[in-house]
A = this chain, B = another copy of it.
Amino acid sequence: MLRVGHRPGRDPRLTTHLALTARALGARRLLLHPPDPELAARLAAVSERWGRGFEVLGIADYRRAIREFDGTRAHLTMYGEPIERVLPRLRKERRILAIVGGAKVPAELYGLADVNLAVGHQPHSEVAALAILLERLRGIPPPGRWPEARASIVPQRRGKRVRTHGGGSR
């Protein structure tokens, strides 16, 4: 996925939620514009503990990242086509770049994307829109240890159970 217009000082928590959501629901990579080394370090710490396979790459030029992406560029916006209409096409694609704008979305994103898609046509949250897109495309990953994880969760009806792996560190 690509996050355009992140404001490192102002919305670190929101972009952290976006990145964690992308990771938890099976995205491979967050392209973050502008770069934010602190956020990348936070996500690396999460992957260190809970499993690898997701990376954060800071990028200076998002237009170029969009143009050079080898796959379908799907811009999430409340003004776009209903997700239900677009999903059959997206499900056929091998590689998808989900594009999420910040508080002020540059108008050019609409033209740079192959698809502008709306998860509902009400104002809500880019975190919610991304979550539903990923869930509809790939489902929810089942419980279990992720690659190289030091910890994994054992689902419980009540309370918490965490299993630790490897050298006994926790």
- Count this chain's copies in the assembly: 2
Interface string of A128-148 (1 = CB under 8 A from B): 111110011000111110100
* Chain B residues whose C-beta falls within 8 Å of the C-beta of A135 in the assembled complex: 132, 135-136
* Chain B residues whose C-beta falls within 8 Å of the C-beta of A30 in the assembled complex: none
Complex Cα distance, B124 from A18, in Å, reads 8
Interface string of A64-89 (1 = CB under 8 A from B): 00000000000001111111100000
> Quick check: B125 and A21 within 8 Å, CB to CB?
yes
> Quick check: A79 and B155 within 8 Å, CB to CB?
yes
The residue that A25 contacts in the complex, of B83, B120, B130, with Cβ under 8 A, is B120
* Chain B residues whose C-beta falls within 8 Å of the C-beta of A77 in the assembled complex: 160
